[in-house]
Amino acid sequence: MLNLLALPISLLFIAHGARATSCSTAQLSNGYYNVNDSCIQCPAGSYCRNNEKFDCSPGTYNPDIGSSSSITCSSCPLGTSNPKPGSSSPSDCTPCTPGSFSSSLGAMQCTSCPAGTSNPNSGSISSSSCSTCGAGYYSDIGAGKCSVCPAGHYCSGGDKFACPAGTFNAFTGSMNSFACTICPVGSVSSPGASQCHECPSGTFEIGDNKQCKTCSAGTFSNSGSSSCSECTQGTYQPNPGQSHCISASPGHFVPSPKSTTQTACEAGSAQPLSGQTSCDLCAPGFFQSQSGQVSCCQCCAGFYSSNFGSKTCNQCGAQGTQSRGTSQPGSTSANACMAGSNPQPVKTCIQPSADACPVVIAKAPSKRSPSQLHADFCSISVPRRHWCKVLNGGMECVDTMNDLEMCGGCLEPGHLEDPTTGARDCSAIDGVGDVRCRQGQCEIQSCHKGYEISRDGRNCVRVKIADIHRHLSHASSKGRGWEVQI
């Protein structure tokens, strides 16, 4: 059964179907206020005065209805806070979490423990509950517990300090700056590093272990370098920050260290190898009119060049009744020019283009290997190596101290021996078997059957019949057989 006595006066009128009315002056002074011409009692969490409703401020609460004064809003106790306005229950006052405290009544929020301290408890009412972290530990603001000092840092008085750039610390819980170690040479670190990093290839460490600097052009470095190395002669590097130098290309050279470019061989010279410091001058009988080439061209029949480094070949002049003479390809002197039409001289001896040589009109190939003009570096500074003509019209760089067919010096094409220089074709010795060239001399190890080594050791001579009978007789007298095959 509805208890009418328990209802507010405004609701009694509504219950009886009476028209709602505005609050009286007495009601407005006693915890009521008008809402759309209806008189409403002030709800919990607020108070009403002069026909206006006010929420209890943050940090307070009011569980009662019909309150008419702010003094009915009770303050939250110590160790709690309430950030919300209009709270109606003491449960809205929340205990301060670990890492904070509240030392005053009616706190809107709890105060965080300062950095370097911690508080593991909730509902703390004093700053004294925030304890300073021990050595090797630190905390941020509002910490419930202190944290162990991380690698790359050291901690003292609750504060965390980063190891400076150029140093590192791989351990946790460090208590002072002595834990920060200088990075090894060729490595760097940023502040707070737990390890150092090697400078990558093409860079170097400038001396403070803080920054890797790029190597300049003409230099290089491997990883972990404290300085850059200069490119050596024969190599170059046009770009900065590189891990290696580039060998000079064939047809080019690099004469100086720390070079950023390679230089093309000048006309009159060539270089077949890479990584060289100079170019080889064209030998007499050869020429080169282009720059940057790997080989020299042979002078054509009817032309000659008598000097090293020729850029062109000289044409033979008139010989006898002929307006111009001829010569063997690769001739080195005007004395080689002669009358006749074999070989027929060409009209010109000009390179048609780079990397191409003119037709020289050569004789038939010889038994020797084809021309190997630049199979080896033939330097005039190495006496035992010489440019020697071969029957196919080419020139070959020959080690005359060890070459079997040109032992002791160059031989004119088709010649087996030169009495003037002592040069010999060891392979052409009559009746020779095992033979080699050593120190420019033919050394015969054995001869074919029917031959024997001469007394001076220079030749194989036929065995005479009388000698055969003498040996047979000598062998028979000793009771041993002796067989001779001719």
What count of residues does the chain have?
A: 486
CA angle 246, 296, 427 (to 5 degrees): 105
One domain, residues 287 and 219: no
**Domain termination residue (choose one: 293, 327, 362):** 362
Last residue of a domain, one of 332, 362, 392: 362
**Beta-bridge partners for 138:** 147, 158
User: Do 8 and 91 have their domain in common?
Assistant: yes
For 147, the domain range is 134-227
Provide the sign of the torsion angle of the four alpha carbons 377, 383, 385, 388, taken in this order. positive
* DSSP symbol at 92: G
Question: 205 lies in a domain?
Answer: yes
CATH of residue 313's domain is 2.10.50
Q: CB neighbours of 325 closer than 8 A, spacing ≥ 6? A: 302, 316, 317, 318, 319, 337, 338, 339, 340, 345
In a domain, 210, yes or no: yes
Per residue in 33-59, pLDDT (tens digit) is 999 889 999 999 999 988 989 999 999
- DSSP calls for 383-450: TTEEEEE-TTS-EEEEETTT-SSSBTS---TT-SEETTTTEE-GGGSTTB-SEEEETTEEEE--B-TT
* Residue 466, H or E segment: helix 465-477
Residue 91 lies in a domain: yes
Q: Is residue 346 part of a domain?
A: yes
Last residue of one domain, picked from the residues 76, 95, 114: 95
- β partners of residue 396: 388
CB 250 within 8 A of CB 273: yes
Do 12 and 90 reside in the same domain of the chain?
yes
Number of domain units in the chain: 3
- pLDDT tens per residue, the chain (486 residues)? 344 344 444 444 344 444 568 888 888 888 899 998 899 999 999 999 889 899 999 999 999 999 999 999 999 999 999 999 999 999 999 999 999 999 999 999 999 999 999 999 999 999 999 999 999 999 999 999 999 999 999 999 999 999 999 999 999 999 999 999 999 999 999 999 999 999 999 999 988 899 999 999 999 999 999 999 999 999 999 999 999 999 999 999 999 999 999 999 999 999 999 999 999 999 999 999 999 999 999 999 889 999 999 999 999 988 877 788 888 889 999 998 888 655 667 888 998 888 889 888 754 333 443 333 333 345 443 445 676 776 655 667 677 888 888 898 888 887 888 887 889 999 999 999 899 998 889 999 999 988 999 999 999 999 876 555 555 555 444 444 334 333
